[in-house]
Structure 1
Amino acid sequence: MSAGRAFEPDRPIEIIGAFESTYLPRHDTDIFESTAHDVHWKQDLGLLTEAGVQRLRYPIRWHRVEEEEGVFDWTDTDKVLHHLRDHGFQPIVDLVHHTSYPRWLEGGFADPRFRDAYLRYTEEFARRYPWVQEYTLFNEPFSTLFLSGHEGIWPPYQKGLDNFVAQILNVLPAMAEASRAYLDLLPGARHVWVDTCEHHTGSGTAGSAYARMANERRFLVLDGFLGRGYDADGPMAGPLADAGGEALQDLEPGRIDVLGLDYYAHCQWHFDDKGGAPNTPFPLPLAQQIYLYWDRYRLPCMITETNIRGHTSDRASWFKYVLEQCERARRMGVPLEGVCWFPVIDSTDWDSLLYRSDGHIDPVGVYWLDAELARQRSVMSESYAKAAAGTPSKDLPAYTLAEPVATWLRGYQPQMQHWTWEQAPGMDQGHSLPNIQTRMELRIVNAD
């Protein structure tokens, strides 16, 4: 492990900030722009300072830095990163966030030019900012490549296991090479691997079999990156071999210093003989889920993303749950450093999984955006600041859940039954709040 931050188990869990920037190649816009963070970034960083948060995940917009192939413009990046450095922030820089690659890379993560382009970009970044202490080389490689290569939801809109495997084999070797190069380019800096923290349940013959497969599949990309391959006798072995996946058994390993786990209620699916759905009625407590990942990889951990789509009071209650579970994971022996609510301000357009670019506000932030994109405080921002000051989860309020969050989290109620619940604030705080029928689109049909 690289030198860097020492884990201090007796200190309160650190609260970490984050800003969303995913690029939508078909629309040539990103969430920095649709939330006006590109204009109000100093104000938004000021909200973090006000809340007492210094450590944050912050994205580098490759799609804007290298809009013309081979020509780098770091002007905007310089402004923000120098501000972060000069004002005592501790950024975990995020070099590729989902589909945030240059538009000229037309094949996305399937483009044969990806390796050379990515390695050129990561090297240019490291040489320009040698003081960076923490970085993420690629945000959520499993879920990103799954949506772009297996499900056909993100560009290049490919489907099936063979395309998923091909994209993994196009991306992972470049990531691993960059991680090894950073030992020299950013000595002492830490690579924070970030991906989804999943667990799946099943009932019936077909549902149980699919859940077993999905619980193996969740580790496929991370194990491949570390040179572990996959279980040659497991439920995925046959399909992977048929899809060209045997090459995953022989990848040269990359290096990781911190295991970042992104956790949402929809990270736990339940499958039966009719299919699958998120928000399982039988969720594994998050503390146990964190422990499973830590026990497998034995790396320092942090929750690098969490949120819930709903009223600000719902967000505060979910934040209490996640923080409480992280405290329990620590007591179970997990060296867990921090919790990142993602993002600090509301996002946009996740209701269509970024297929459309409507500027539709996604009600998930610590601070909510009104119709004019003004940043608004709430009970969520109050809980966030209290936790950043060291308040333990037991002293944070739990607000009665509104719909549809109450239905989504029905399976979690036994894990929250020891709480003393308060009535949520009388007036709605938040914009574009979901209703009971609202579901994130998992398949795009007639979405133009």
Structure 2
Amino acid sequence: MPEASTPFASFLMGGFECSSHRRRDRTRLDLIAATQHDRFARQDYDRLRARGILTARDGLRWHLIETRPGSYDFSSFLPMLRASREAGVQVIWDLMHYGWPDDTDPFAPGFTARAAAFAGAVARLLAAEGETAPWLVPVNEISFLAWAGGEVGYMNPWREGEGHLLKRRLVQASLAMMDAVWAELPAARFLHTEPLIHVVPHPQRPADAPNAAAFNRGQFEAWDMLAGTLHPELGGHPRYLGLLGVNYYGQNQWVHHDSPAERELLPPGHPWRRPLDEMLQEVWQRYGRPLCIAETGAEGDARVPWLRSVGEEVRRAMSAGAPVQGLCFYPILDYPGWDDDRHCPTGLWGYADDAGHRPEYPPLAEELAAQAQAFAAL
């Protein structure tokens, strides 16, 4: 299903949950292993291709690859890379999806150099495997990681009140990682993924308006730093900005409250909710760069209506001129929840049995096919 308007093998993509951070209780998550995607990568990619989805998002697990500083063991990654190639599926690889080796973190001395060395080693491996122009995400969701790990201590590195500093450190690492990759693979391309949000103050709490506005501004800070328009001393430049990936879920619009647990989500149809097509237009007008929906999805019976709604709004944005170049349903496999390991039925396919068979959720398969036709017609 190639599209003239996209640099990807297909407009619709499937994303594999690849978070590898340590949560608040210090337990290491490895969602690639938990979903057995590492074990059944070839079958998973074959399933995508059979559904006409020729592009995927997936990730490397840095903590498994660099178990000793400067020593790289790619045995956890190479089979997945080769499986994707054998299946004929293009993959956008995340280099750092919330996790890093235990002996470092973004506040540690030398972290930027360490991240760059890791990225360079990955690039050399890709080059040796014949990948001349890969798509890579240096650091997934800098803004969310800065908030979760630097502002409220929800995940590693478990800091509080240091979100902006963590954001700067992650941007520095991302810039160095891109330079290291380009030194080995000058044709490499980068996708920068960030949450797309809309936050409003409650009319009965007008004092919350400045904080709500700060959240809305903050969603753009990582991209602004990468482009060099904010904190230019970090070394950002427009050449680093690449393609912008917006991650958008049902919980991405809310009524501000100083306590995150007290936030009131704005469900579809709420009068305070902002249309997604307007939000996409804002990103396009602000940066003048092509963009894609890098993550979107829902759980249970909400999967189909959510995808249908997002597809309609994306097409409205495209018809109005926004160069949206892809839409990734994420995650494409059910997974165990971050905090409690509960079964989260979010995917097109469920948990694998011992032979790698995964039950399919037919309503979502039908809706993905309908969305493919709608985007092809557009």
Aligned 1:103-142 pairs, distance under 5 A:
103-105=102-104, 108-130=105-127, 131=131, 132-142=133-143
Q: Name the residue aligned to 1:165.
A: 164
- 1:114/1:277 Cα in 2 relative to 1: closer, same or farther (>3 Å)? farther
- Deviation per residue, 1:55-104 (Å, 9 max, x gap): 11110111111122221111231121122223321111110112x21122
Q: Name the residue aligned to 1:383.
A: 366
- Deviation per residue, 1:41-68 (Å, 9 max, x gap): 2221121122111111110111111122
Aligned length: 358
Q: Name the residue aligned to 1:278.
A: 265
Tell me the distance in 2 between the aligned counterparts of 1:273 and 1:77. Answer: 41
Tell me the distance in 1 between the aligned counterparts of 2:89 and 2:326. Answer: 15
Q: Name the residue aligned to 1:431.
A: none
Partner of 1:210, secondary structure, is helix
Question: In the alignment, which of 265, 269, 278 is matched to residue 288 of structure 1?
Answer: 278
Q: Name the residue aligned to 1:156.
A: 157
- Deviation per residue, 1:3-36 (Å, 9 max, x gap): xx99628x99810011112124333441111112
Alpha carbons 2:58, 2:92 under 8 Å: kept: yes
Tell me the distance in 2 between the aligned counterparts of 1:327 and 1:12. Answer: 19
Question: In the alignment, which of 323, 327, 330 is matched to residue 315 of structure 2?
Answer: 327
Q: Name the residue aligned to 2:189.
A: 190
- Residue 370 (structure 1) shift: 7.8
Q: Is 1:260 matched up with 2:245?
A: yes
Question: In the alignment, which of 285, 288, 292 is matched to residue 302 of structure 1?
Answer: 292
- Residue 179 (structure 1) shift: 2.1
Report the residue type matching 2:207 in the other structure.
A
- Percent identity over paired residues: 24
Q: Name the residue aligned to 1:318.
A: 306
Alpha carbons 2:19, 2:97 under 8 Å: kept: yes
- 1:272/1:82 Cα in 2 relative to 1: closer, same or farther (>3 Å)? closer
Q: Is 1:348 matched up with 2:348?
A: no
- Deviation per residue, 1:226-281 (Å, 9 max, x gap): 1111xxxxxxxxxxxxxxxxxx3532115022100000111111136996333363
Partner of 1:340, secondary structure, is strand
Aligned 1:350-365 pairs, distance under 5 A:
350=338, 352=339, 358-365=340-347
Partner of 2:14, secondary structure, is strand
Alpha carbons 1:34, 1:359 under 8 Å: kept: no
- Residue 310 (structure 1) shift: 2.4
Report the residue type matching 1:123 in the other structure.
G
Using the size of structure 2 for normalisation, the TM-score is: 0.87
Q: Is 1:87 matched up with 2:87?
A: yes
Partner of 1:63, secondary structure, is helix
Q: Name the residue aligned to 2:216.
A: 215
Tell me the distance in 1 between the aligned counterparts of 2:264 and 2:376. Answer: 31
Gaps of 5+ in 2: none
- 1:385/1:267 Cα in 2 relative to 1: closer, same or farther (>3 Å)? closer
Alpha carbons 2:300, 2:346 under 8 Å: kept: yes
RMSD over aligned CA atoms reads: 2.7
Alpha carbons 2:334, 2:345 under 8 Å: kept: yes
- 1:73/1:196 Cα in 2 relative to 1: closer, same or farther (>3 Å)? same
Report the residue type matching 1:176 in the other structure.
L
Larger Rg belongs to: 1
Report the residue type matching 2:50 in the other structure.
E
Q: Name the residue aligned to 1:69.
A: 69
Gaps of 5+ in 1: 230-247, 353-357, 396-448
Q: Name the residue aligned to 2:351.
A: 369
Alpha carbons 1:346, 1:361 under 8 Å: kept: yes
Partner of 1:175, secondary structure, is helix
- 1:199/1:12 Cα in 2 relative to 1: closer, same or farther (>3 Å)? farther
Using the size of structure 1 for normalisation, the TM-score is: 0.74
Q: Name the residue aligned to 1:233.
A: none
- 1:13/1:111 Cα in 2 relative to 1: closer, same or farther (>3 Å)? same
- Residue 365 (structure 1) shift: 1.2
Report the residue type matching 1:268 in the other structure.
Q
